[in-house]
């Protein structure tokens, strides 16, 4: 029922892409998502190139299905990461924090699909012009680095502005969000926070429990003065960021405070780790296998479509 252009483009069963979360999106999670019919993504983040190569080779042992790598354009190893992705014949890359234009020709020659994350109509149009295969319209509800426009406002505007497939991201964790995104014109969705609370995700159980315990107002945006704001769950670290903002601290102080804190969260520090999570965290109440997460989303969406066709939704 939900076989879209994205399924054809990427060779996947369901139009569901896993977010490329640094330190979180490991080969184990990516392999599970791909095996369940979605597109699993390894988060390259600031990984050294040979460590990324190890993750890519690990995921190849876990699945024969398509997978991808999220390339972070602020990585100090960017050129080497692109080289590894090409050498390892990765089928798809998603990109963030930069323009992939410099690498488009070499990626296309390697038959790699390029799908950037965008937070504005202008950027989506610009990237369509350089030949990307699709874009991910990511609203500010998402965890990690955020833009300034909500998914519900951003998504239909980007859909109307470009002729390539658009994938919705930010604030999606169940069949309702999945179906709503398709109704607004998306050809698929990307989810991050929902997949953190999966059995296959390798982050510490403390991190998963913090998401499950979250409420609707449990996230906060930190680091706005740096120009790279980040949405996280509230904790002692986020409070320290707020104090820096209140006293107009130098950007170097923000950078020093944030250094290594995502890795700390992944390892279980829920007080002084950077617990990146989207506003949808308040909706997530369990940890279950990736396959079950995807099956439940598709089943819920199918049930809604059936209830509409039978006129039950409006009663």
Residue 141 lies in a domain: yes
Average pLDDT rounded to a whole number, residues 219-233: 93
Q: What is the pLDDT of residue 310?
A: 78
Residue 278 lies in a domain: no
C-alpha gyration radius of the chain: 19
Residue 145 lies in a domain: yes
Each residue's pLDDT tens digit, 132-144: 999 999 999 999 9
Pairwise CA distance, residues 314 & 300, whole Å: 17
For residue 226, pLDDT beyond 70: yes
For residue 315, pLDDT beyond 80: no
Residues 6+ apart with CB under 8 A from 150: 139, 140, 141, 170, 171
Residue 73 lies in a domain: yes
Each residue's pLDDT tens digit, 27-38: 999 999 999 999
State what percent of residues in the chain have pLDDT above 90.
89
CA distances from 292 to 32, 48, 94, 183, 200 (A): 11, 33, 24, 23, 11
3-state secondary structure of 136: strand
Contact status, residue 169 vs residue 189, Cβ threshold 8 Å: yes
* CATH number for the domain harbouring residue 129: 3.20.20.70
Pairwise CA distance, residues 138 & 174, whole Å: 16
Each residue's pLDDT tens digit, 251-268: 899 989 999 999 999 999
User: Residue 223: left (phi > 0), alpha (psi -120 to 50), or beta?
Assistant: left
Residues facing residue 39 across a β-bridge: 17
Residue 309 lies in a domain: no
Q: What is the pLDDT of residue 308?
A: 87
Strand arrangement of the beta sheet that strand 230-233 belongs to: 144-145, 230-233, 219-222
Residue 42 lies in a domain: yes
Each residue's pLDDT tens digit, 36-71: 999 999 999 899 999 999 999 999 999 999 999 999
Instruction: For residue 22, give its domain range.
Output: 5-203
Pairwise CA distance, residues 35 & 28, whole Å: 11
Tally the domains of the chain. 1
Q: What angle do CA 97, 23, 39 make, to 5 degrees?
A: 75
């Amino acid at each position: 029922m939900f076989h879209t252009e994205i399924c054809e483009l990427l060779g996947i069963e369901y139009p569901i892409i896993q977010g490329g979360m640094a330190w979180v999106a490991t080969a184990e999670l990516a392999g599970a998502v791909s095996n369940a019919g979605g597109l699993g993504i390894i988060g390259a983040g600031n990984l050294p190139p040979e460590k990324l190569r190890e993750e890519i080779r690990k995921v190849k042992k876990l699945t024969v299905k398509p997978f991808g790598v999220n390339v972070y354009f602020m990585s100090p190893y960017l050129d080497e990461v692109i080289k590894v992705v090409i050498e390892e014949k990765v089928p798809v890359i998603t990109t963030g924090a930069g323009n992939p234009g410099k690498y488009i020709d070499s990626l296309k020659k390697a038959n790699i699909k390029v799908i950037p994350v965008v937070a504005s109509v202008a950027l989506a149009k610009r990237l369509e012009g350089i030949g990307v295969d699709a874009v991910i319209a990511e609203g500010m509800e998402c965890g990690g680095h955020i833009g300034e426009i909500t998914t519900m406002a951003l998504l239909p505007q980007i859909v109307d502005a470009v002729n390539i497939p658009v994938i919705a991201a930010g604030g999606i964790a169940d069949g309702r969000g999945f179906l709503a995104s398709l109704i607004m014109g998306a050809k698929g969705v990307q989810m991050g926070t929902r997949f953190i609370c999966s059995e296959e995700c390798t982050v510490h159980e403390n991190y998963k429990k913090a998401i499950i315990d979250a409420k609707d107002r449990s996230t906060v945006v930190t680091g706005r003065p740096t120009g790279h704001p980040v949405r996280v769950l509230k904790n002692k670290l986020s409070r320290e960021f707020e104090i820096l903002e209140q006293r107009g601290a130098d950007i170097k102080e923000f950078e020093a405070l944030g250094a290594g804190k995502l890795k700390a969260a992944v390892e279980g520090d829920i007080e002084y780790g950077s617990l990146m999570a989207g506003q949808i965290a308040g909706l997530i109440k369990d940890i279950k296998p990736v396959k079950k997460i995807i099956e439940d989303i598709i089943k819920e969406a199918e049930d809604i479509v059936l209830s509409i066709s039978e006129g039950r939704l409006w009663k």
